[in-house]
Amino acid sequence: MSALPLASPAQQRTLRMAARALARAGLVHAYGHCSLRLDEGHFLVCAAKPMAMIGAADDGAVVPVEGPLPEGVLGEVRIHQQIYRRRADVGAIIRSMPPVAMSLSTSGCTPARRHGMGSYFASPIALWDDPQLIRTDAQAQGLAETLGAGNAIAMRGNGVVIAAADIERAVVLNWYLEDAARVELHVRSAGMAAQGKTLSEQEAALRATDAGRIFERMWDYLTHGDPEAGLAG
């Protein structure tokens, strides 16, 4: 059996920063995990502890895309395996617990594209209509297939999963999704859902831009003050 690849210090550090950013933004609590792809057959998942408690010495674990989870890796990391297995375009995955998106999902609802930050998602955002924890490969396969080619899926009463090209973008999209959920809840609470406007396909395609350091600026905002920000190596 070949040895698992090693993650670089920069990859380990970026993943730790991502985990702490998600915690500071209130998108995770005791539960949640994030990962980044190392190569076609392996990914790096953050340490199996509450993300806010991940310190500079807490390296993540290398996990194979195929095969059993290594000892000490959280059971729901099989979600990451199944998505990476199906999506060569995905370079990072986040399993998080954003509170507003969670609230909406309990009614079988996901955010509509009502404002700029919602433009980055499919309409409608996929829903995994099962409140149970993902404890089997069959469950993880079903979730990955429901996600399809999208970048986000809500799990009914059980958080969300984000898939993106890199970990920085995944963190930003996680924040965008929760903001879209905030707007959706406000509109529905005000009884304005029926008359409220949503972005057309053309409007969404034009607004969902990468220009102007859109993702970089939000990553900088979410990681500001992190103890490992700006470190090299």
The residue-averaged pLDDT of 41-55 equals 98
Tell me if the bond preceding 70 is cis, omega within 30° of 0: no
pTM for the structure as a whole: 0.96
The residue-averaged pLDDT of 186-215 equals 93
In this structure, the strands spanning 152-155 and 160-164 are antiparallel
Which of 37 and 2 is assigned the larger pLDDT?
A: 37
The residue-averaged pLDDT of 121-146 equals 97
Query: Going by C-beta distance under 8 Å and a sequence separation of 6 or more, which residues neighbour residue 125?
Result: 110, 111, 150, 152, 153, 154, 177
